[in-house]
Amino acid sequence: MIEVKAAPFPYKLDPAHTALVVIDMQRDFVEHGGFGESLGNDVTRLQAIIPTVSDLIALFRAKGWPILHTRESHLPDLSDCPPAKRNRGDVSQRIGDAGPMGRLLVRGEPGNAIVDACAPAPGEMVLDKPGKGMFCHTDCEAMLQAAGITHLVFAGVTTEVCVQTSMREANDRGYECLLVTDATESYFPQFKSAAIEMLTAQGAIVGWATPFSTLKEAVG
């Protein structure tokens, strides 16, 4: 076991059974003209973490540890997108509408792709999820079990929505979860800080949190 300095206390990482989960580093959330911007958000906040996420991915590749990439995405006919999700809010464009990078959050469209700097390498796990959490209507648990994973390191966007939801789902299933704080981001800084506090409160009730530099130092 590798001990990683973390909040609220050290995280014990099992190198033989640990995977990195990179949540939704998609053009639709990170780049101009995507779904995130259609909601009125400043996507440059999310762009700022791309180098750290890329470095984190490179670290896991160098160690030969598994990586799972997720994409929030829907079938072209939107049969897996409930009306309650698509129709919510007073927005200029909705899921499935045509945007500068193709139909928003639809599988196979240019905007649904993961940004080049964080793109999956051959052999890495890629999971399309129709909801916020990575276990909702997916084969995520079977994939992790087949790989013998018990420990998960989380990165990606956004901290308080898809990252937090996935981390909570994983915790409920018995996975030991660590969030890399500078490899995750929100459109709202106060939401990010609040989410991290909630996840790590009450003795790591959901999981632990640490910056990338600390994780890198620990694993060597």
Closest CA to 74 of 108, 98, 46: 108
Residues 6+ apart with CB under 8 A from 167: 152, 154, 177, 179, 199, 206, 207
Closest CA to 162 of 197, 186, 190: 186
Cis peptide bond prior to 158, omega within 30° of 0: yes
Distance CA 52, CA 173 (A): 28
24 is catalytic: yes
In the set 81, 118, 140, 162, the catalytic residue is 162
Q: How far apart are the first and last CA of the chain?
A: 13
Burial class (CB in 10 A: 0-12, 13-18, 19+), 200: buried
Given a contact cutoff of 8 angstroms between Cβ atoms, the answer to whether 208 and 11 are in contact is: yes
Residue 128 tokens, joined: 């399309």
In the set 81, 118, 129, 132, the catalytic residue is 129
162 is catalytic: yes
Distance CA 120, CA 75 (A): 20
List residues with catalytic annotation. Answer: 24, 129, 162
